[in-house]
Amino acid sequence: MATIFIGSSAAAKSQARAIATHFARPGLKFLPWWDAFTAGRTLLKDLDHVRGRVDAALLVFSPESTTRIRNNRHAIPNLNVLFELGYFYGHFGEKRVAMVRYGEYYLPSDLGGYIHIWGSRSFRRGAAVPVGKRTEREFERWVAAL
């Protein structure tokens, strides 16, 4: 049985839930952040606790806030989710960590080498867009390689 941690921002929780529901099956389960994290404990302590309970990590990236980069305004993903990507990448390595992308936002070019699963250009805060065929193919390819 493989267990995958699924992380997202609070704004993308519905999307993360839709992904976990869509792909859950015998032999594959998800540990979502809202079941894994404990109020009052630091993110790093929670991640240290979670990493021993999962085999891989899937992080849902979506536009969270805006910032200025080189005098241009850009949407950016949640910084905690970005931190989680780095944390799990450092623990598991490149093959067992993936990001699934929903919406339009800026990512530094340094993140181009990570495993990207295409979600959708659409993103609705607090809602979910359907999991598409491309997302299914890319997710299944990633899981098969775990």
Question: Helix 79-92 to helix 43-51 angle, to the nearest 10 degrees?
Answer: 40
Q: What is the count of structural domains for the chain? A: 1
pLDDT string in tens for the chain (146-residue length): 899 999 999 999 999 999 999 999 999 999 999 999 988 889 899 999 999 999 999 999 999 999 999 999 999 999 999 999 999 999 999 999 999 999 999 988 888 778 889 999 989 898 999 999 999 999 999 999 99
14 in Cβ contact with 127 (< 8 Å): yes
Domain residues for the domain of 104 are 2-144
Query: What pTM did the predictor assign?
Result: 0.94
**3-class DSSP string for 30-54:** EEEHHHHCCCCCCHHHHHHHHHCCC
Domain with residue 72: its CATH number is: 3.40.50
